[in-house]
Amino acid sequence: MAAPPDPAWFIGLVGFSYPEWENTFYRGVRKSVHRLAHYATLFNTVEINTTFYGVPTAKTARAWRDMTPDGFRFCVKMPRDVTHGPTPPGALASNEPPIGHLLRDETLGAARRLVEAIEPIRAKLGAVLMQFPRRFSADRRGELAGFLERFGGAAPLAVELRHDSWRTPETSALLSEHGACWVAADESPRRDVEANEASATEGALGPTAGFLYVRWLGRHGQFPDRSHEHFDPTARLLRWAERLRAAVREHPGLGAVYGFFDNDFAGHAPATAQRFAAIVGGTAPVGGSRPPKQRSLFD
């Protein structure tokens, strides 16, 4: 029996438009409407964060589809009204959704409206990211199970559970039962990343679905200047690459590896993501075949 094919590697950024990138990543791109098309010449996936604040229009979703090549993948963030609770316009998201929130018809309806809105990019959809607030604990395991059951297979789900109480085999079993991916998020501060030290904020890696999903987030707000990397994170990236390759070897049949970098990880997400793409580039087929070589930011 032939071995299963290697998974496709999709490496990109959390969002694709930041003011600090105008004279670096988007140098020479005069109109903001052209940014995604430029982005797609450098990366093969993007995590859309704007959907956390509101469902996109059909026109916007069609534009995303039309500005990206066939092998491109979108991962979109579930609206905060689903993961954090009802949020009035202009207000900050809640630290914890109300008890029973995930089981309400209105919550499921909000999740389904997102899925309907992104129908134009269905062929390019990697996953819908559910990032729960830090106070959402495993005491509400049954509530999460109920939501996953009702949501069904409406879209592939990647679930980020940030409270420490979720780090148990029971969580792995729950997500596996519903085919939802357990997101690994490295939220380590600069000192840990630069020293390449393991910490609780580095993120667990346990496959619970047919794909892996990693977010390199760093410590929020630690780099006010996001125009350049503030240190060389290569040692940390090499260790992450080996962790992911080991997971791929241990779990044959995985279809994809998704990885997204935030500015807060090392200061300038585009440069850090390209570092990592270069590290894993030798094992990064897209759609079952080797993709065209990604251009460098410095070409």
In order of their start, the domains of the chain are 8-283 (3.20.20.410)
Q: What is the pLDDT of residue 28?
A: 86
Q: What is the chain's pLDDT, residue by residue, as a tens digit (299 residues)?
A: 566 678 999 999 999 988 889 889 998 887 888 999 999 999 999 999 999 999 999 999 999 999 999 999 999 999 999 999 988 777 778 788 999 999 999 999 999 999 999 999 999 999 999 999 999 999 999 999 999 999 999 999 999 999 999 999 999 999 999 999 999 999 999 998 988 877 666 666 779 999 999 999 999 999 999 999 999 999 999 999 999 999 999 999 999 999 999 999 999 999 999 999 999 984 333 333 333 344 444 33
Segments in 101-168 forming alpha helices (H): 105-117, 141-151
**Euclidean distance between CA atoms 156 and 181, whole angstroms:** 8
Q: What is the pLDDT of residue 288?
A: 32
Cα dihedral 27, 31, 37, 43 sign: positive
**pTM listed for this prediction:** 0.91
Q: Which residues pair with 14 in a beta bridge?
A: 47
Q: What is the pLDDT of residue 201?
A: 62
* pLDDT 10s digits, 147-159: 999 999 999 999 9
Q: What is the pLDDT of residue 283?
A: 39
Which helix (DSSP H) or strand (DSSP E) does residue 52 occupy? Answer: none
Q: Which residues pair with 73 in a beta bridge?
A: 45
Cα dihedral 117, 119, 121, 122 sign: positive
Q: Which two tokens stand for residue 265?
A: 């990880």
Identity of residue 138 = A
Nearest to 223 by CA among 272, 165, 179, 263: 263
CB neighbour list of residue 127: distance below 8 Å, 6 or more residues apart? 75, 155, 156, 157, 158, 181, 211, 213, 258
**Euclidean distance between CA atoms 58 and 56, whole angstroms:** 7
β-strand 157-160 against 125-131: which pairing, if any? Answer: parallel
